[in-house]
Structure 1
Amino acid sequence: MNIEVLVVPDCPSEEPAADLLRRALDDIGLRDIGFATRVVTGQEEAERIGFTSSPTILVDGRDPFAEPEGQPRYGRNG
């Protein structure tokens, strides 16, 4: 399993999202599963990887929380 937390530079939600993800993995017995944080640097990259807001969590390259009408965009959530 490959898990990434995607963020824009200086995202204020990066640390809280990583903490919640770690707790969620631990709670379901996946203590040995790690994840990486990746900084998204522009709109082209956002479109290529399906980044919709900062933070975005990808599991094996897919966003499990994606909304069907969500469009890739570069920027912070909200």
Structure 2
Amino acid sequence: MQGKVPLLSLEAIHQLHIFIFVLAVTHVLLSLITVLLGTVKHAFFKQFYGSVTKSDYTTMRLGFIMNHCPGNPKFNFYNYMIDQSPRN
């Protein structure tokens, strides 16, 4: 190695290894935190995914119709919900 100089000293290589290790550990920890928060969020919203029985749906629908359209007993709840939903 006459006339050649190393690109990095041993101390610089050691510090680079420490930096890469810290970077990898940080990446793993943040990934685990992201997965954990996603799992918690999913578990929270899962409570709202329960199905409604047909009788409960009919009762809620008729209650809505009686409150909002008392003069129109043939009110179409589905069409109303489609009209009120935002269009993409």
Bigger-Rg structure (1/2): 2
Same fold (TM over 0.5): no
Q: Which structure has the highest strand share of the two?
A: 1
Report 1 or 2 for greater relative contact order, CA contacts < 8 Å, sequence distance ≥ 6: 1
TM-score, reference length from structure 2: 0.26
TM-score, reference length from structure 1: 0.29
